[in-house]
Amino acid sequence: MGRRWLIPFFSVCFGFGECLGDERLSGGQTTVFVTSNKAFARPLANIGRLTRRQHTVGNSFFNQNWVAAPASTTARDGLGPLFNSRSCSACHIQDGRGAPPGKDGSGFGLLLRLSIPGQTAKGGPVPDPVYGLQLSDRALPGVSPEGRMHVSYEEKPGIYDDGEPFSLRHPRYELAELAAGPAHTEIGLSPRVAPAVFGLGLLEAIEEKDLLSRADPQDLDGDGISGRPNRVWSFSENRPVLGRFGWKANQPDLRQQSAEAFAGDLGITSSLVPRENHTFAYARKHAFSNLPESDQPEVDDKILQRVTTYLQTIAPPARRNIDDPEVIHGQKLFREFN
């Protein structure tokens, strides 16, 4: 799929609406003017009818609750046996972000990534020998979830320069109710809240040279920020490339990001990520061999591409209240720090 509606804008301008003389245009000519609860779920304003149709189809798969295979709905089965959610939209609600647990334990769209010290041959994190790279807290009937995440908070008080007191909550994450015994003694836990997904196609369209031109690993400009590009393994190109997506820029493009999310979050394989999201050690312990298996990808390339197209074509909403004095003051402060 071409991205001709994205590249011209971003190849000449990083300043968003300023370049077009209208600061409301957060995504240039792709911006939509919607303020309802669907504000994050609209297609780019300047795409054609065919791409809009592909966007709509991808949206249906993004919102679909997937089911275990085999099922009569063969285009929407393959869930599990381990998973964190039954649909993409269960974590990215209305294409917005998730929320960490509150004091009452409520929250959604939060998972734990796992790793132990070291790197793989391709530069990626080393998985826990039993629980892999991600804790799966849900499972199909007859299968034990790997465990659950326990979150507690410690209040850390402080005082602003003007004397006003404040208190910050410092979270502590722990593994609980592990089904296959203790995790590795040096396991690292990395909580990840599902991010908003609108505007991702605009980021994917930015030329690599433009991103690299803004790297400053030695902080030579003295702004206190040492931006470093991340190199990650591309499954389709079979080589290291620039990372762009995920909280740690650990995915190179939206197709691989989607395939990894299908596998890691829903337990659904694809031609790009054909592996299941559990380790052989966990499978042996919990007798996964009695579950139906297939050598074929559980989500085919056409569906994967439709979901990718959907993510590439979700529009950023217009900036609001740009003449509000507080907004103007915040904009000034933002630019001072950037």
List, as own/partner pairs, every contact residues 294-300 make where C-beta atoms lie below 8 angstroms and the sequence separation is at least 24, other chains included: 294/69, 297/269, 297/270, 297/271, 298/69, 298/77, 298/78, 298/268, 298/269, 298/270, 299/78, 299/262, 299/268, 299/269, 299/270, 300/75, 300/270, 300/271
User: What count of other Cβ atoms lies within 10 Å of the Cβ of residue 52?
Assistant: 12
How far apart, in whole angstroms, are the C-alpha atoms of residue 26 and residue 29? 9
Give residue for tokens 């190849």. 11
- Token readout for 145 is 């979830």
Instruction: Report strand pairing: 110-119 vs 165-176.
Output: unpaired
Sequence-distant (≥ 6) Cβ neighbours of residue 318 within 8 angstroms: 24, 25, 26, 31, 32, 33
DSSP 3-state assignment of 282?
Answer: helix
Phi and psi at 223, nearest 5°, equal -90, 5
Peptide bond into 8 cis (omega under 30): no
Instruction: Report strand pairing: 239-242 vs 188-193.
Output: unpaired
Residue spans per domain, the chain: 7-97+195-216+227-337
How far apart, in whole angstroms, are the C-alpha atoms of residue 47 and residue 1? 12
Longest dimension (CA), the chain: 65
Helix ranges, 214-323 (H) = 254-266, 280-285, 301-312
Instruction: Give the per-residue pLDDT at 12.
Output: 40
- Token readout for 336 is 């001072």
Instruction: Give the per-residue pLDDT at 223.
Output: 81
**In angstroms, what CA-CA distances link 77 with 54, 59, 61, 87, 290?**
21, 17, 11, 11, 18
Q: Give the CA-trace dihedral at 25, 32, 253, 189, to 10 degrees.
A: 90
CB–CB of 251/271 below 8 Å? Answer: no
Q: Which amino acid is at 152?
A: S
* pTM for the whole structure: 0.90
Phi and psi at 264, nearest 5°, equal -75, -40
Closest CA to 250 of 123, 135, 110: 123
Instruction: Give the per-residue pLDDT at 106.
Output: 64
DSSP-assigned letters across all residues of 207-239: -HHHHHHT--TT-TT-SS------EEEETTTTE
pLDDT along the chain (338 residues), means of 10: 45 53 91 95 95 97 94 87 95 92 74 96 95 96 92 94 94 94 96 96 95 92 88 97 95 98 96 90 72 78 97 96 95 84
